[in-house]
């Protein structure tokens, strides 16, 4: 447990005891000054670590607001309480930094009640415990003080209200920030749009956008991309396309997340022709998203097994100066395997070897499934002769491929074996041998009946 004891006098003495024994046999000592708390480690097993520090501040102290920073970027409000106090709770065993700020308190009783409830729950994370009335009091208290909350704090608070569908509170926070800090307005508007969008509140998201534009703020690329993502998830295709046209009108380019979201929406509706038109409109010559656009275009043809169009677009990709990656080759290999085009499959494998592209489990699965589907298991050694069967199995193909073409039988079976911890090191040779025995037994049972 952590015990924080604050004594109000001409010299402030803060003592922190950390009783929890860490996995690396380190105890934490936290020393407090007027502006910040310093975290130190003391290596001593099974003994409490205690330290005190007298600050040189003799003025009145009414309230201290603590912020917990985890992993350098994850910041959240922990408490705002009056002095003196004593509290206890559990901290997550992660690297952290604690900062302090002095401010006036007008709701000391409620703040103390909050700390007592946190003590009973054994946690400092008020927003995770659902103490929203208390969090509201602390938020108002922070705004009335000289403390300026960061964007990470605002984002987490809005997300917490969004999870409980308290959307009016998000609007209230937005209005409070706008009335106090004009510089943060564009960022806070984007956070509010994101909070509404995550919960599918598209109309509220539109209202925030209109208010943002009416105040003279421009829509940046990240906000426009977020609009497209949320409309792709929660809206219809027509609404999504309107949002995309709006982004184009603002002269911003759609980014990778937006491209994936819109493509996923087209795939769910099996609108592969519209997917191809969208990708061409984005611009197949864009290189800042890698091979994503070309891979999605090839996937739109492979989904309907339009093999001539698939080959034609692949050659155009090469002519445009793009180098095929593993996902590109596996899209073609999956199509060739499903259509039992063995010659094209072998040429694709040779092309992979020529470009030094290492195959993964999906590639091996295409070969195995193609031969076994046509009862050509005896010729499988010839097909796998030029492939390294002693490598550890990996899956490096873009998961988007499986949304369109699914997984082969060998891949699905192998993934189940890889999750089985009995054998520590699997190789492609082991997986193929186990799969062949499985298929042989299945055929025996079939013919016996």
Q: Which helix (H) or strand (E) holds 174?
A: helix 167-180
311 domain-assigned: no
Task: Please tell me the number of Cα atoms within 13 Å of 83 on its side-chain side.
Answer: 19
Position 295 in a domain: no
| 390 belongs to a structural domain | yes
Name the residue among 318, 278, 308, 311 with its Cα closest to residue 296.
278
Closest by CA position to 305, among listed 338, 269, 329, 281:
338
CB-neighbour burial class of residue 271 (10 A; exposed 0-12, middle 13-18, buried 19+): middle
Is 235 within the bounds of a domain? no
The dihedral sign for the CA sequence 329, 331, 334, 339: negative
Alpha-carbon distance values, 145 to 64, 84, 364 (Å): 11, 19, 63
Q: What is the pTM of this model?
A: 0.69
Residues 6+ apart with CB under 8 A from 46: 21
Tokens of 126: 């008020």
Q: What 3-state DSSP class applies to 418?
A: helix
Give the count of domains, the chain. Answer: 1
User: Strand order of the sheet with strand 27-32?
Assistant: 27-32, 36-42, 96-103, 63-70, 74-82
Q: How many CB atoms lie within 10 A of CB 220?
A: 15
User: Which pLDDT score is estimated for 7?
Assistant: 33
Tens-digit pLDDT string for the chain (449 aa): 333 333 333 323 332 322 232 223 232 222 232 333 333 333 344 443 333 333 333 333 223 333 332 323 233 333 333 333 333 333 333 333 333 333 334 444 554 555 455 445 544 444 455 566 767 777 777 777 766 777 887 888 888 888 888 888 888 888 888 887 767 788 888 899 999 999 999 999 999 999 888 888 888 888 889 999 999 999 999 999 999 999 988 888 999 999 999 999 999 999 999 999 999 999 999 988 889 999 999 999 999 999 999 999 999 999 999 999 999 999 999 999 999 999 999 999 999 999 999 999 999 999 999 999 888 888 888 888 889 999 999 999 999 999 999 999 999 999 888 887 666 688 899 899 989 988 887 766 555 54
3-state SS class at 52: strand
- Distance CA(108)–CA(323), nearest Å, equals 64
**Cis bond before residue 84 (omega within 30° of 0):** yes
Say whether 419 sits in a helix, a strand or coil: coil
Nearest to residue 325, comparing CAs of 264, 382, 398? 398
The answer to the question of residue 376 being in a domain is: yes
What's the residue count for the chain? 449
Chain position carrying tokens 């043809």: 301
In a domain, 106, yes or no: no
The answer to whether residue 445 sits within a structural domain is yes
Q: Alpha-carbon distance 226 to 119, whole Å? A: 39
366 in any annotated domain: yes
User: In the block, which residue shows the tokens 């209230």?
Assistant: 172
Compute the radius of gyration of the chain from its Cα atoms: 30
Say whether 154 sits in a helix, a strand or coil. Answer: helix
Residue 443 structural domain: 324-449
Nearest to 14 by CA among 29, 24, 28: 29
Report the run of H or E that residue 194 belongs to, with start and end.
helix 185-198
């Amino acid at each position: 447990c952590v015990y924080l004891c604050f004594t109000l006098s001409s010299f402030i003495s803060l003592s922190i005891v950390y009783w929890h024994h860490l996995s690396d046999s380190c105890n934490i000592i936290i020393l407090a000054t007027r502006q910040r708390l310093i975290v130190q480690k003391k290596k001593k097993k099974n003994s409490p670590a205690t330290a005190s520090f007298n600050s040189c501040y003799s003025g009145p102290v009414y309230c201290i607001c603590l912020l917990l920073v985890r992993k350098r970027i994850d910041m959240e409000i922990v408490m705002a309480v009056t002095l003196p106090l004593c509290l206890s709770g559990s901290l997550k065993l992660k690297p952290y930094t604690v900062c302090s700020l002095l401010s006036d308190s007008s709701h000391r009783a409620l703040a103390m009640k909050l700390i007592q409830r946190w003590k009973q729950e054994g946690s400092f994370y008020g927003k995770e415990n659902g103490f929203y009335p208390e969090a509201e009091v602390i938020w108002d208290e922070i705004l009335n003080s000289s403390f300026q909350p960061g964007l990470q704090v605002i984002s987490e608070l809005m997300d917490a209200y969004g999870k409980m569908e308290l959307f009016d509170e998000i609007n209230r926070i937005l209005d409070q920030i706008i009335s106090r800090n004009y510089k943060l307005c564009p960022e806070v508007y984007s956070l509010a749009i994101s909070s509404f969008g995550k919960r599918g509140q598209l109309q509220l998201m539109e209202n925030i956008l209109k208010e943002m534009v009416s105040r003279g703020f421009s829509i940046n690329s990240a906000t426009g991309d977020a609009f497209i993502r949320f409309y792709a998830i929660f809206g219809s295709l027509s609404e999504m396309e309107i949002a995309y046209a709006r982004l184009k009108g603002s002269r911003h380019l759609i980014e990778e997340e937006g491209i994936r979201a819109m493509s996923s929406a087209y795939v769910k509706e099996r609108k592969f022709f519209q997917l191809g038109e969208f990708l061409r409109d984005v611009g197949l010559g864009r290189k800042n998203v890698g091979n994503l656009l070309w891979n999605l275009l090839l996937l739109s043809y492979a989904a309907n097994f339009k093999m001539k169009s698939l080959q034609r677009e692949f050659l155009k990709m090469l002519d445009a100066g793009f180098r095929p990656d593993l996902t590109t080759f596996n899209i073609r290999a999956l199509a060739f395997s499903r259509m039992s085009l063995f010659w094209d499959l072998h040429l694709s494998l040779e092309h992979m070897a020529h470009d030094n592209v290492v195959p993964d489990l999906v590639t091996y699965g295409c070969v195995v499934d193609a031969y076994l589907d046509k009862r050509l298991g005896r010729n499988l050694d010839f097909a796998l002769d030029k492939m390294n069967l002693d490598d550890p199995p990996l899956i490096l193909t873009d998961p988007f491929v499986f949304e369109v073409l699914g997984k082969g039988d060998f891949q699905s079976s192998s993934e189940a074996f890889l999750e089985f911890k009995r054998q520590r090191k699997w190789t492609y040779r082991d997986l193929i041998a186990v799969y062949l025995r499985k298929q042989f037994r299945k055929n025996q049972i079939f013919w016996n009946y």
